C-alpha cells in the first residue's frame, strides 16, 4: 500500500487521470512526440522500469483491492477489449480497444483479436493523419495557437521557480532541450511527460504505437484504412479546455517524477487483462477526495470522451454498413453508459464481448 499512498501524496487527481487518458484514450501523446522528435539523437535506449501497483495493493491492502475489483465489476461493459458488432443486413464487424503505446505487450494482439483483424476487409482507426507525417504536421501547424503560446507567454512564466526546475529536470531525463518547449501549451508537454523515457525514446525512434502498427499491417495486406477524426479536431478539442486545468495537470504530472513508470506499468497490466473498467477505480483509490478536481475532469470527460464517442459512432456507421470491418480505438472509449459499446447498442447493433 505504501507505493500507492506515495502517489496519492505527490499528485492530484487531474494528473493521474490525464496520464491514464493520454496513453489509453487518444493519440495526443503520439502527436506531441512526433512534433518534436525530428533530429533527436539517442545515444542509448533508456531501460523501462516500473512496478505494478496492483500487485503491491493486493498484497498490502486486500480490502482496498477488493473494493476496486467490486467497483470495476459494476462498470458497464468494463471487461474485454474485443467486441463483435452485428446488425441486420450487414456483415459482422469488430470493435477493439487499443493503447497508444509501442510496448510489445500492447502491440501484440490477443489471438482472437488477431484472428478478427486478419479476416477483416477494412481497418478503422481514430485518425489516419498519423500515417502521413507531412500531412499531420501541416494540420498541426495550421492553427499554431492550439499548441503554442503565440504571445509573450512562456511555460516558465506560468510556473514557480521550483516547478520550472522540476520541468527542466524531467525534460533533461527525456533528452528534450527545455528551449524547444518554452512556448508549448501545457497539455502538449503533459502528453510527453505522461510517457516513460523508454517509451518516448521508442516513439521518437520511429517505433509504431499499436494503432499505427495495425494501419501499416492493413496497408501491406491491401486493406483500406479509414479514419473517424482528424488530428486537427483532436488538437482543437484538447485546446478548448481551460488553461488552469491544463496547468494543474502539468504541475502535478511533474511532481510524479519517476512514478510515471509505475502508473504506465500498471496501465499495461490492466490492458493485458482487458480490465478497462478498473482504470478509474484503481486511481480513485490513490486519490484523496479533497484533491479531486470534479468540475475540471467533468469537462475533460465530456470533451475528450463522451462527445468524441458520439462522433465516432456517427462516422463509423457508413463504413460498418459495408461489413467486415475492424475498428480499433483507444480502450477507454469502450466502457461505461456513455462508452462506444453502449453507444453502438443504441445505434441498433448487437454488441457482444469476444473472449
* Nearest residue to 200 (alpha-carbon basis) of 41, 331, 329, 46: 46
Give the pLDDT of the chain (355 residues) as one tens digit per residue: 444 444 444 444 456 666 777 777 767 677 677 666 544 544 567 788 899 988 888 888 898 889 999 999 999 999 999 999 999 999 999 999 999 999 999 999 999 999 999 999 999 999 998 888 777 777 767 888 888 899 999 999 999 999 899 888 888 877 788 888 899 888 888 888 888 888 888 888 889 999 999 999 999 999 999 999 988 888 888 888 888 888 888 888 887 888 888 888 999 999 999 999 998 888 777 654 445 566 767 788 888 889 999 999 999 999 999 999 999 999 999 999 999 999 999 999 999 999 8
Q: What's the burial of 82, exposed, middle or buried (CB within 10 Å: 0-12/13-18/19+)? A: buried
- What pTM, to 2 d.p., does this model score? 0.89
* Nearest residue to 327 (alpha-carbon basis) of 245, 246, 214, 238: 214
Tens of pLDDT along 278-310?
A: 988 887 776 544 455 667 677 888 888 899 999
Grid coordinates of 71: 467497483
Tens of pLDDT along 101-115?
A: 999 999 999 999 999
Helix, strand, coil in percent for the chain, rounding step 5:
60, 10, 30
- Residue extents of the structural domains in the chain: 2-41+48-353
- Number of C-alpha atoms within 13 angstroms, CB side, residue 278? 23
Amino acid at each position: 500500500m505504501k507505493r500507492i499512498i506515495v502517489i496519492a501524496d505527490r499528485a492530484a487527481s487531474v494528473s493521474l487521470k490525464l496520464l491514464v487518458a493520454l496513453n489509453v484514450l487518444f493519440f495526443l501523446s503520439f502527436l506531441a512526440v512526433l512534433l518534436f522528435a525530428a533530429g533527436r539523437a539517442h545515444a542509448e535506449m533508456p531501460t523501462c522500469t516500473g512496478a505494478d501497483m496492483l500487485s503491491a495493493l493486493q498484497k498490502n491492502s486486500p480490502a482496498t483491492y477488493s473494493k476496486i475489483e467490486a467497483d470495476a465489476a459494476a462498470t458497464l461493459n468494463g471487461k474485454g477489449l474485443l467486441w463483435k458488432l452485428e446488425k441486420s443486413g450487414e456483415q459482422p464487424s469488430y470493435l477493439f480497444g487499443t493503447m497508444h503505446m509501442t510496448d510489445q505487450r500492447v502491440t501484440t494482439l490477443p489471438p482472437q483479436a488477431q484472428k478478427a483483424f486478419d479476416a477483416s476487409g477494412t481497418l478503422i482507426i481514430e485518425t489516419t493523419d498519423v500515417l502521413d507525417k507531412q500531412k499531420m504536421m501541416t494540420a498541426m501547424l495550421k492553427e499554431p495557437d492550439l499548441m503554442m503560446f503565440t504571445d509573450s507567454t512562456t511555460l516558465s512564466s506560468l510556473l514557480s521557480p521550483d516547478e520550472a526546475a522540476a520541468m527542466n529536470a524531467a525534460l533533461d531525463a527525456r533528452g528534450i532541450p527545455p528551449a524547444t518547449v518554452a512556448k508549448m501549451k501545457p497539455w502538449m508537454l503533459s502528453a510527453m511527460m505522461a510517457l516513460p523515457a523508454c517509451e518516448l525514446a521508442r516513439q521518437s525512434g520511429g517505433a509504431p504505437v499499436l494503432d499505427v502498427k495495425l494501419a501499416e499491417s492493413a496497408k501491406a495486406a491491401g486493406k483500406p484504412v479509414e479514419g473517424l477524426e482528424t488530428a486537427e479536431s483532436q488538437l482543437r478539442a484538447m485546446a478548448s479546455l481551460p488553461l488552469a486545468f491544463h496547468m494543474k495537470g502539468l504541475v502535478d504530472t511533474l511532481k510524479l517524477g519517476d512514478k510515471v513508470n509505475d502508473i504506465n506499468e500498471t496501465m499495461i497490466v490492466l490492458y493485458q487483462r482487458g480490465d478497462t473498467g478498473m482504470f478509474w477505480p484503481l486511481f480513485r483509490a490513490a486519490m484523496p477526495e479533497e484533491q479531486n478536481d470534479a468540475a475540471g475532469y467533468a469537462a475533460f470527460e465530456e470533451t475528450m470522451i463522451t462527445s468524441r464517442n458520439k462522433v465516432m459512432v456517427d462516422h463509423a456507421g457508413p463504413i460498418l454498413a459495408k461489413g467486415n470491418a475492424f475498428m480499433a480505438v483507444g480502450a477507454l472509449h469502450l466502457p461505461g453508459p456513455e462508452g462506444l459499446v453502449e453507444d453502438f447498442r443504441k445505434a441498433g447493433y448487437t454488441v457482444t464481448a469476444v473472449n
